[in-house]
Amino acid sequence: MSATMSQKARILAVAAVLLALAIIVPLSSSFVVLLATRALVFAILAMSVDILLGFAGLASLGQAAYLSVGAYLTAILAAKYQFGLGWDFWLVVLFAVLLGAATAAFFGLFAVRATGVYFLMITLALGQCVWGLAYRWNSLTNGDNGINLTSRPNFGLDLANERTFFFLVFAFFSVTLLMLYVLVRSPFGRSLEGIRERELRMQILGYNTWLHKYIAFVIAGAVGGLSGVLWAHTNGLVSPDTVVLTTSVDALLMVVLGGAGTLVGGAIGSAIVFGLREYLSTLVPWWQYVLGGVYVLTILYMPMGLMGLPARIRQWRGARSRSANGQSLMPAQS
């Protein structure tokens, strides 16, 4: 019973925070609005990483590939075919999600056979292949000049206004969060967690673990594609710089910082990283050390990320006599 209660309370907490964000951010300065928008777009990508890391136990260093696939699709359709700038924007969203899923379906055939560090490396290699394509396929992607989007879509909302655009991104984030939440709470999601914990046992129980992981991979790709559409419209330009390794590493960092397996952990991590990177960087030149330091400390002392902080404090208070190390990265229970 207390588990359900704590679950309800958690949902309420998240909803409250989201509501607060929706009210406060638009009232702040333009810079905060811009940052919050970018952080939310990235948070969607981080959620796709979290599906893999926090729920399936697979650390991927190649999620930027799906963001770029969605972003380039949006940019090419807009710039070359003037498609997606009106109500057809929603079609572009659909296409991007499908394309992200398709790419992941293809890549997954190679990647999901591996686990652990091999998975890490193969996703890295796949991500780099996409980067290479973005760079060299000049006729399609315009190479390193990138593709400019002429304007934000117009379907009755003035999206050139940064605050209105923020609401759109916010809506996408919330809906995605909701959908993924339903997913991880479903039997499928539970099976994933079971695979993360003890794959052999799940196989003995008769689960097709490969298929479960593969589906998770495809879903992560779909979410990544979605984030790409928003990314393209946030910045107005898509270039190979989007697909670099550091983007994927950033997403992984954000999830770890915020707490893997919590979905919102990615958003928290995104807020922290963007806040530090873009806000602190305007104040002090040594912000990289702060970021690196926060990250290292989180891994060492708060393996469940910031979301795991209260549990950690409780544990520390209650278990002072016992040593509290050896805690695994993924939460054993939600």
147 SS3 class:
strand
Nearer to another protein, 98 or 329 (CB): 329
Which residue's CB is nearer to another protein, number 235 or number 270? 235
**Chain centre to alpha carbon of residue 208:** 26
Closest approach, Cβ 189 to another protein, in A, equals 20
Tell the smallest beta-carbon distance from residue 233 to another protein (Å).
12
At closest approach, how far in Å is the CB of 296 from another protein? 4
- C-beta atoms surrounding 283 within 10 Å: 7
Length of the chain: 334
Residue closer to another protein, measured from CB, 98 or 334 = 334
CA distance 233 to 248: 20
Shortest Å distance, C-beta 67 to another protein: 11
Q: Which of 94, 294 has the CB closer to another protein?
A: 294
Q: Rank residues 87 and 137 by Cβ distance to another protein and give the closer one.
A: 137
> How many other CB atoms are found less than 10 A from the CB of residue 91?
13
In the complex, what is the shortest distance from the CB of residue 97 to another protein, in angstroms, rounded to a whole number?
21
Measured from the CB atom, the residue of 90 and 118 that comes closer to another protein is 118
For the CB of residue 36, give the shortest distance to another protein in the complex, in Å: 9
**What single string gives the DSSP state of each residue in 192-261?**
HHHHHH-HHHHHHTT--HHHHHHHHHHHHHHHHHHHHHHHHHHHSEE-GGGGSHHHHHHHHHHHHHH-TT
Sequence letter at residue 21: L
**Burial class of residue 328 (count of CB atoms within 10 Å of its CB; 0-12, 13-18, 19+):** exposed
| Residue 180 contacts residue 56 (beta carbons within 8 Å) | no
